[in-house]
Structure 1
Amino acid sequence: SIFPVTGIPHSSVLFSKVHLIYNYFVSCLYSLVDVFVQLMGDVFPELKDNEKKIKDIIRDEEASFENTLVKGYERFKKAADAVKENGGAVLSGQDAFVLWDTYGYPTDLTEVMAVDFGLSVDMEGFNVSMEEARQKARNARYKAGGKSIVLDANATSQLHNQGLSSTNDSPKFQHEVHSSVVKAIYTGSEFITTASGDEDFGLVLESTSFYAEQGGQIYDTGSIEGPSGSFAVNNVQVFAGYVLHICSFLEGSDSRALSVGDEVKCKVDYARRALIAPNHTCTHMLNFALRKVLGDHVDQKGSIVLPEKLRFDFSHGKPVQPEDLRRIEDIVNQQIKDGLEVHAQEIKLADAKRINGLRAVFGEIYPDPVRVVSIGPKVEDLLANPESKQWLSISTELCGGTHISNTRDAAAFALISEEGIAKGVRRITAVTAECASQAIKLAQLIETDINEASKLLDGATLEKKIGSIKNTLDAAAIPAARKADLRGNISKLEDQLRKAKKKMGEENIQKAVKTAMDAAEAAVSQGKPFCVTRADVGLDTTAVREAVVKAMNRFKSLPVMVFSIDESSNKAVVYAGVPPDAPNGFKVLDWLTPSIAPLKGRGGGGKNGLAQGQGSDASRVQEAMEIATQIASMKLS
C-alpha cells in the first residue's frame, strides 16, 4: 500500500486510478533519468554534470507528489463526508475545483472517487468556479494600468499589413522630452482614428522614449502632450515589436481628443525612473553576489524591478542562511562603496557570448545586436580579451533596461527577505537608496530598544516591552540578516525575563509566606480562630496559594485567607483555606464567595479545603477583608 495511513480502499476503482497516476510520476520518470542522460548527455553535457542533482530533485518531487495526493484525498473525503451527513448526493463544484486547482486532481478522478462514496459531482458548478478564477486572472492583468488593453495577434497583424513598422524605442535611454507621431489608436477591440471621451485607449507611436515593461523592469509612466490636450500614460507594454502606451485623458484638459497623425511630445516621469534605475543595477550586482557566495549553480529564474523595491528569483535547493545573506548584502554594498562605473553597449550577439562570465536568462530570446551591461570595466575592454578569467569577478549581463551610471548612485542596499517560492527556486526582495537607508536605520532603532529593554529590572515591564519589540520586528522591513540577529537578541531577553520571573516568583513566595505566617501567629496569640491578611505580591497566585498552605500546615486548625492586588490593573487575587475539622460546618466557599463580592469577584475550588478567587475592582480590597473577618467571626465564634 502506498497509503497505509489514509485508508484508501485498495480494491476500488479509485485506488487503481490513483495508483496508476502515482506509478506514472514516480516509477516511470525516475527510472528514465539514467537512460535520458545516457542518450542526451553528449548533446547536453550539463545533464551529465548535474545527474545527481536531477535525481535528487525528482526524488523530492516524488515525495511531494505523494503528499499532495494524500492531502487531496483527505480534502475530498472531508467534503464527501459532509455532503453525506447532510443527506446530500452531490459534491459541490467548488470542492471539485479546489481539488483540481490546489491538489491537481483531474475532474474525472474526482468523479470516480465520488462514485465510491455514492455521490455525483456538480460539473456545472465546477465550470462556474473555473470561469470565476479565469475572470480574476483577467482582471489582475495590467491592474496598475487601469483598463486591460492588449494587442493580440490579430491586432498586430493588422498593423503589419498596413505597413506600419515596429516602434523605434531607442530614445528610451535618453532623459529628455521626445517628439513623435501617432501611428495607431486601439480601444482593446478595434483601431480608431480619433480617441475622445473618458475611456482609456492604447497608443502606438512612431518612436517613443517610454520604457515598455520587459526584462523584469516595470514600465515607465508619464504623459503625452498632443495638439489638443495632455494624456496620462499609465502603462507601457510591447507586443510583436509595437510599443503600446495605455493612456487616459487628464482631468482639466481643454480639449479631449487625439487623432492618428498628430504630433505629440513624450514626457516620461524621470523622477520615478530614477527610483527604478538603482534597483535594476543592484539586481545585476545581486545576481553576481549570489553566484559568488552560493555557487555557480545559481541561475536567474525571474525578476521584477519596481520604484520601491527589487525582487530576484534564482535556483537554489535550500534556504539561504543568515550568514550567507549578510555576505551577499556586503558584496553588493562594497560595489556601491567602490563607485564602479556602469557601462552599456550594443554589440553582436556572437561577440557577447564569448565574454567569460556573461550572465543571461535561460530561455530568453535576445536580439542581434544585443545590449551588454557591465559594472566596472568598459564593454570594449571585455571584447578586447573576452576569455579572460578576470571577467568572472565582475557583473556582466545581457540587458535592455535602464541603469544608473555609477554604483555609488544606489547609495545603499538592504536585503529584506529570502523565501522559497517553488521547488528549488528561492526569492530575494531588496531595497536600495533611501529605502535601504531607512531599513538600516529602523534596524538600528530596534536594536537600541532591545539594548534598553535589557536594562529593565521589573519583570512585568520587561515582558510588555519584549512583546512590543517582537511585534515591531515581525512587521519591520529591515535587512534579513539583521532581523535574524535581532531575533537572537530577543531570545536572550526572553531568557533574562524567565530568570527574572523565576527570581521574582521565589521572592514573592518568601514575602507572601512570611506575611501569612506573621499574621497567623499574631491571630493565634490573640486567641482569634482565623486569619485574614494581605500580601502585596501582585497577581502571583502561586505565591498567595503557597502562603495559605504553609500557614495552615503550621497552624493546623486555623482558617486562613490571603488577599493581594495589582494597582496598575486594579485586579485582585484571593486564596482561602479552611481545615476539614473547622467548627459549625464552616466551608471554604461559604467564606470566600461573599468575601470577594465587593471586588466584583468570582471564585471556585473547595478541593482539600482550598479555594481561589479573582476580582476586577481591587480598590475595595479593604471592604472585602472586613467582610471576610465578619463572616469568620460569626461562623467560628
Structure 2
Amino acid sequence: VCNVQIYGGFILHIGSFSGQAHKFSVGDKVICKVDYNRRTLIAPNHTCTHMLNFTLKEVLGDHIDQKGSIVLPEKLRFDFSHGKPVKPEELRKIESIVNEQIKSELDVFSKEAKLSDSKSIKGLRAVFGEVYPDPVRIVSIGQKVEDLLANPENEEWSSYSAELCGGTHISNTREAKAFALMSEEGIVKGIQRVTAVTTYRAFEATDLASSLEQKVNEAFQTDESLLEEKVTSLNATVERAQIPTVMKTDLKAKLSVLQNQVIKAKKKIAAENIQKAVKAASEMAEAAASGGKAYCILQIGVGLDTAAVREAVVKVMEQKGMAVLVFSKDEAANKVLVCAGVPEKGDKCQQLNVKDWLNAVLKPLGGKGGGGKGGLSQGQATDISKVDEAMDVAATFAAMKLN
C-alpha cells in the first residue's frame, strides 16, 4: 500500500499486487502490506515538515498559515501565506533552527483526543479549511500530548510544535539526521513555497555545496587571463547544482565578487590595448609620412579588440591626415580583424575609397567587410595564414589609388 484516501466516506487503499493474483473481486480476502522502505524515507520528511511549519511562524511571524504540503520519499514541499520572498538571512535562520531541533533529539509524541479538547491547546497548528475527524490525532514534538491536554492554555506550549495530523512520523528528531532548504519561491500572490530534503540527501546537498565552495575560493587565486572562463564555468555549475539555497546564495555572492574582478581586468586590458594600438599606429604613421607616403599599413597584437583597433585608426587619421589600415590577429580563434580609415577631409586621399580598400584586402583572407561610415570600415576573416599577402594587397591598392 502506497497511499490511502477517503472517497465518499469509504477508505480506499492504493497499492500494487505482490503475489500470484492479478485481479480480485468483491468478497475476496486480501492482505494489505505497507511499503515500509518508502515509509522510512517519508517519515523524517513529514516530521521535518512539522518542525518547518513551527519555525516559519517563529521566524516570519504569526501570519504564517499552511496552504499546502507534499511529503515524498525524496523531499518535502511546504506552501504558506507570506506576502513577499523570504530573505536569505531568514532562510538561514529557519534551516538552522530545524537542525537545532534535530540535534536536540526531541521525542515525537502522538495521541488521539477529542477535537474540541485538541483545538484548545495553545499554539496548536491545523490546516485552515481542513475537516478533521473526532477524535483526532495530535502529533507533538518535544512535549507529551497528555501534558498539552492537561493544561491547554499554558503559554509554554507555543514554544513546541503541535499539530493535528494522521500521518507517519519518526519517534525522535535525531532520526531526521539533517535538514536542508533547497529552494524558496512565490507560486501565487501572497503564497510562498519551500522545498527541503532530510537525512542522507541533506548531507549530500551540503557536501556538494562545500565542494563547490572550495572551488570558488580557489578561483580567487586564478590568473587574470584565465579568470573569465573559470567564473563562467563556476556560475553555470553552481546554478544547476542541487545544493541548499542559502549556500547557493553565498556562492553566488562570492562569484559576483569574482565577476567584478573579471570586469575590472577586462577594463584594464582594454585600456592597455588602446594605448598599445595607438602607440604602434602613430609610430608607423610617422615613419610613413617621413617616407613621403599618404598611407600606412601595420599589424598590431590586440586580438579581436575592435575598440583598440578603431581608436588606433582614428588617431592616425586625426593626427596625420593619412589613410591607415590595421590588422590584428587572434591565433586561438584563427581570426583576423581588419580596420581601414580614409580621411574624408582634404584632397590627398580622395581617390581612395575606404570600403573598396577594405574589401580588396579581405578577399585573400576569405572575409567580408562592413560599410564606410565616417571614413571607417572594418571586417573579419578566418584565414590568418594570408595576413602577409593581404598586407601586400593593401599597399599595392593604396599606392595605385594615391600615387
Using the size of structure 2 for normalisation, the TM-score is 0.91
**Shift in Å at residue 592 of structure 1?**
0.9
Write out per-residue CA displacement over residues 356-379 of structure 1, whole angstroms, 9 at most, x where no aligned residue.
211111222222222111111222
Select the residue among 557, 577, 600 that pairs with 2:341.
Answer: 577
Give the corresponding residue for 1:330.
96
Contact 2:224 2:262 in 1 (8 A): no
Q: Quote the Cα distance in structure 1 between the aligned partners of 2:26 and 2:181.
A: 47
Give the corresponding residue for 1:554.
319
Select the residue among 313, 319, 327 that pairs with 1:563.
Answer: 327
Contact 2:365 2:387 in 1 (8 A): yes
**Shift in Å at residue 261 of structure 1?**
4.0
Q: Quote the Cα distance in structure 1 between the aligned partners of 2:41 and 2:342.
A: 75
SS at match of 2:254: helix
Give the corresponding residue for 2:268.
503
Asked if residue 383 in structure 1 is aligned to residue 165 in structure 2, the reply is no
Write out per-residue CA displacement over residues 595-636 of structure 1, whole angstroms, 9 at most, x where no aligned residue.
012332111232332211112333432332232223223333
Select the residue among 6, 9, 12 that pairs with 1:244.
Answer: 12
**Shift in Å at residue 454 of structure 1?**
3.3
Aligned pair count? 401
**Matches for 1:284-363 after TM superposition, within 5 Å:** 284-363=50-129
Distance 1:353 1:322, change over 3 A: same
Write out per-residue CA displacement over residues 257-299 of structure 1, whole angstroms, 9 at most, x where no aligned residue.
4344444333332222211111111110001101111111211
Asked if residue 615 in structure 1 is aligned to residue 377 in structure 2, the reply is no
**Matches for 1:462-473 after TM superposition, within 5 Å:** 462-473=227-238
Q: Quote the Cα distance in structure 1 between the aligned partners of 2:362 and 2:239.
A: 41
Contact 2:342 2:349 in 1 (8 A): no
Distance 1:626 1:442, change over 3 A: farther
Distance 1:341 1:583, change over 3 A: closer
Asked if residue 624 in structure 1 is aligned to residue 380 in structure 2, the reply is no
Distance 1:247 1:311, change over 3 A: closer
Give the corresponding residue for 2:281.
516
Distance 1:326 1:259, change over 3 A: same
Q: Quote the Cα distance in structure 2 between the aligned partners of 1:609 and 1:371.
A: 85
**Matches for 1:430-449 after TM superposition, within 5 Å:** 430-449=196-215
Distance 1:617 1:236, change over 3 A: farther
SS at match of 1:366: coil
Q: Quote the Cα distance in structure 2 between the aligned partners of 1:416 and 1:247.
A: 30
**Matches for 1:143-292 after TM superposition, within 5 Å:** 210=1, 220=2, 236-246=4-14, 256-292=22-58
Select the residue among 366, 374, 377 that pairs with 1:600.
Answer: 366
Distance 1:453 1:621, change over 3 A: farther
Distance 1:249 1:266, change over 3 A: closer
SS at match of 1:278: helix
Contact 2:343 2:349 in 1 (8 A): no
Write out per-residue CA displacement over residues 422-457 of structure 1, whole angstroms, 9 at most, x where no aligned residue.
332222222222222232233334433433333334
Q: Quote the Cα distance in structure 2 between the aligned partners of 1:589 and 1:582.
A: 17
* Long gaps (5+) in structure 1: 1-209, 211-219, 221-234
Q: Quote the Cα distance in structure 2 between the aligned partners of 1:626 and 1:434.
A: 69
Q: Quote the Cα distance in structure 1 between the aligned partners of 2:15 and 2:41.
A: 22
**Shift in Å at residue 400 of structure 1?**
0.4
Q: Quote the Cα distance in structure 1 between the aligned partners of 2:20 and 2:80.
A: 50
Distance 1:278 1:254, change over 3 A: closer
Letter in 1 for 2:278: V
SS at match of 2:370: strand
Q: Quote the Cα distance in structure 2 between the aligned partners of 1:608 and 1:582.
A: 17
Letter in 1 for 2:232: G
CA RMSD of aligned residues (A): 2.4
**Matches for 1:586-597 after TM superposition, within 5 Å:** 586-597=352-363
Q: Quote the Cα distance in structure 2 between the aligned partners of 1:520 and 1:445.
A: 55
Give the corresponding residue for 1:486.
251
Asked if residue 539 in structure 1 is aligned to residue 301 in structure 2, the reply is no
SS at match of 2:49: helix
Percent identity between the two aligned chains: 61
Contact 2:76 2:195 in 1 (8 A): yes
Q: Quote the Cα distance in structure 1 between the aligned partners of 2:79 and 2:22.
A: 43
SS at match of 1:267: coil
Letter in 1 for 2:196: A
Q: Quote the Cα distance in structure 2 between the aligned partners of 1:485 and 1:548.
A: 45
Distance 1:439 1:598, change over 3 A: farther
Q: Which has the larger displacement, 294-303 or 478-487?
A: 478-487
SS at match of 2:185: strand
Distance 1:262 1:377, change over 3 A: same
* Long gaps (5+) in structure 2: none
Distance 1:552 1:246, change over 3 A: same
Give the corresponding residue for 2:170.
404
Distance 1:423 1:587, change over 3 A: closer
Write out per-residue CA displacement over residues 384-421 of structure 1, whole angstroms, 9 at most, x where no aligned residue.
43332222111111110001122122122122222223
Write out per-residue CA displacement over residues 71-101 of structure 1, whole angstroms, 9 at most, x where no aligned residue.
xxxxxxxxxxxxxxxxxxxxxxxxxxxxxxx
**Shift in Å at residue 536 of structure 1?**
0.9
Q: Which structure would you say has the larger RCO, counting Cα contacts within 8 Å and 6 or more residues apart?
A: 2
Q: Quote the Cα distance in structure 1 between the aligned partners of 2:191 and 2:284.
A: 69
Letter in 1 for 2:269: M
Distance 1:340 1:618, change over 3 A: farther
SS at match of 1:268: coil
